[in-house]
């Protein structure tokens, strides 16, 4: 378990401890990294995030219905903007820290943060990650899917499939009062068993009241490390799995797009999850 001198979890002012308080304080006293009270979402906040997630899922469903060879990534950006705003919501990536578009579209060797462009035309055999994030009434949701354009190589098909399996296995490993490292461990092992690598430069994150919140949800690591997972936390799991090296570089032309160092393909899937007393609930996929 991660050992840190921290006092994230504080005793209530009235001094009355719930069973949840006692359990978290037990781990904190052992030196584990635990969440703050603010990181646990309240019922009304969870409902707001859930509503945002419905729109976010609807956007990705729309993309799934229309994506095909001949479409540009700029077309995808227009679909995302139109669907989101038609539902009285805002695309979270738009103008976020200077990002110029409403969605990230990462094709083939692009790991993440691909910028939509009229110059990028999808072709037969391409694989593409479409990463959608939505703000609805102040609440944030975030998810991405991989799409295979037409028929692709068996190697790319396997990469896309294993990346999804990594996400699913990570979700299964996310248990109440487990640790973020438990998620990382199963993702790392499954990727390596299939001959792939896990990107280490990016991770999942808390989400809901802001675009990116604590905790950092790493996809490469060891069990029983990282932050304690507690019911009420909302976070993403979004492993980026590479066919070759895990290392990457940032495209100097736009300052955003991450590309695999050896320019071999990469795949990523992402869901937003709510931690409950019984495991995770998917809020957007």
| Residue 88 forms part of a structural domain | yes
Q: What is the pLDDT of residue 12?
A: 78
Residue 68's nearest CA partner among 5, 126, 135 is 126
Q: Which residue's structure tokens are 């990463």?
A: 131
The burial of 167, by beta-carbon neighbours within 10 Å (0-12 exposed, 13-18 middle, 19 or more buried), is given as: buried
Domain around 149: 29-284
Relative orientation angle of helices 43-66 and 73-86, to the nearest 10 degrees: 140
d(CA 270, CA 168): 10
| Residue 20 forms part of a structural domain | no
Say what percent of the chain tops pLDDT 90.
Answer: 94
| Residue 2 forms part of a structural domain | no
The domain total for the chain is 1
| Residue 21 forms part of a structural domain | no
Q: Are 152 and 126 in contact (CB under 8 A)?
A: yes
Tens-place pLDDT, residues 186-232 = 999 999 999 999 999 999 999 999 999 999 999 999 999 999 999 99
pLDDT score of 81 more than 70:
yes
| Residue 56 forms part of a structural domain | yes
Strands, E assignment, the chain: 90-91, 104-107, 110-112, 127-136, 139-148, 197-198, 204-206, 213-217, 234-237, 240-242, 248-250, 258-260, 266-268, 271-276, 279-284
- Report, as an integer, the average pLDDT of 234-263: 98
pLDDT score of 16 more than 50:
yes
The CATH number assigned to the domain holding 170 equals 3.90.230.10
Residue 198's nearest CA partner among 159, 252, 152, 143 is 159
Among 10-14, 139-143, 157-161, the least confident range:
10-14
pLDDT score of 5 more than 70:
no
| Residue 11 forms part of a structural domain | no
Q: Kindly report the pTM of this predicted structure.
A: 0.95
| Residue 12 forms part of a structural domain | no
Cα–Cα distances in Å, from 182 out to 172, 227, 228, 278? 10, 10, 10, 16
Say what percent of the chain tops pLDDT 70.
Answer: 98
| Residue 259 forms part of a structural domain | yes
Residue 269's nearest CA partner among 142, 153, 181 is 142
Cα–Cα distances in Å, from 138 out to 2, 167, 233? 33, 27, 17
């Amino acid at each position: 378990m991660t050992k840190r001198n921290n006092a994230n979890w504080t005793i209530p002012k009235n001094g009355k401890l719930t069973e949840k308080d006692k359990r978290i304080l037990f781990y904190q006293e052992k030196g584990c990294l635990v969440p703050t009270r603010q990181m646990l979402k309240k019922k009304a906040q969870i409902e707001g995030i859930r509503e945002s997630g419905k729109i976010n899922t609807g956007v990705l469903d729309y993309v799934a219905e229309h994506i095909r060879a001949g479409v540009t990534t700029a077309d995808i950006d227009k679909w995302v903007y139109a669907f989101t705003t038609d539902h009285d919501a805002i695309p979270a990536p738009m103008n976020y820290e200077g990002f110029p578009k409403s969605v990230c579209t990462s094709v083939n060797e692009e790991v993440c943060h691909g910028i939509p462009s009229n110059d990028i035309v999808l072709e037969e055999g391409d694989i593409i990650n479409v990463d959608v994030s939505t703000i609805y009434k102040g609440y944030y949701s975030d998810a991405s899917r991989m799409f295979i354009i037409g028929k692709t190589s068996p190697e790319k098909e396997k990469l896309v499939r294993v990346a999804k399996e990594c996400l699913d296995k990570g979700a299964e490993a996310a248990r109440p009062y487990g640790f973020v490292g438990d998620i990382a461990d199963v993702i790392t092992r499954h990727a390596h068993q299939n001959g792939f690598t896990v990107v280490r430069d990016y991770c999942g994150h808390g989400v809901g009241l802001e675009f990116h919140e604590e905790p950092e949800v790493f996809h490469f690591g060891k069990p029983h490390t990282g932050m304690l997972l507690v019911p009420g936390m909302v976070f993403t799991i979004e492993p980026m799995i590479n066919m070759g090296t895990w290392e990457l570089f940032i495209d100097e032309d736009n300052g955003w797009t991450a590309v695999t160092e050896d320019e071999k393909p990469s795949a990523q899937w992402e869901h937003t999850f709510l931690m409950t007393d019984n495991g995770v609930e998917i809020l957007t996929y």
